[in-house]
Amino acid sequence: MDKKDCKNCKYNEKCRDSLVSWIFLFVGIIAAVAMRLVGFYMDVNPFYAKIFWYIGVLFFIVFFIYRYKVSMNRLKTIKNENLVFKIKEGNLSEQDKETVTNMLCGLTSKKEMVNFSVIFILSGITLFLVLILDIMKMSK
């Protein structure tokens, strides 16, 4: 689905990301950055490495509690509304269709891909930098 399809979609307003979801995206990114800094600062300054570790773990806990609640709400809706059976039977009411559409809109958010990309890129950069530091230490 491209942006043009979304602009003309009657569900466009419901697909927009909430402020809360953006806040938790940044919480996740901060956690990822902090955890990647641990590897770098381990040799540079262990005190800062420990601070980044605590920040990373704390923010990951907060982030994953939020993601868990989101997933549990989706699961609860799917079970309570018997959506799997209704989809198999082709027996969705208008309310069911709206519920499924809202869930699918939530799953098509680009924030999740941004989060994965940041974690992947930062992990690669950190691995490279820490490897260089380790090689430099071994050559001394």
pLDDT digits (tens, 9 = 90+) for 30-57: 999 999 999 889 888 999 999 999 999 9
Domain membership of residue 14 (yes or no) is no
Domain membership of residue 95 (yes or no) is no
When pLDDT is cut at 50, 70 and 90, the band that residue 1 belongs to is: very low
Separation CA 53–CA 51 (nearest Å): 5
Q: What's the confidence (pLDDT) of residue 35?
A: 92
Is the predicted pLDDT of residue 4 greater than 80, yes or no?
no
Domain membership of residue 55 (yes or no) is yes
- Which of 75, 105, 79, 81 has its CA nearest to residue 93? 81
Containing structural domain, residue 31: 19-81+111-138
Number of structural domains in the chain: 1
Domain membership of residue 121 (yes or no) is yes
Domain membership of residue 118 (yes or no) is yes
For 127, the 3-state DSSP assignment is helix
What share of residues in the chain are helix, strand, coil (percent, to 5)? 85, 0, 15
Domain membership of residue 88 (yes or no) is no
Separation CA 66–CA 63 (nearest Å): 5
Are the C-beta atoms of residues 36 and 126 closer than 8 Å to each other? yes
Domain membership of residue 9 (yes or no) is no
Separation CA 137–CA 128 (nearest Å): 14
Is the predicted pLDDT of residue 124 greater than 60, yes or no?
yes
Domain membership of residue 102 (yes or no) is no
Is the predicted pLDDT of residue 14 greater than 60, yes or no?
no
Q: Taking residues 59-75, what's their average pLDDT?
A: 93
Provide the whole-model pTM: 0.71
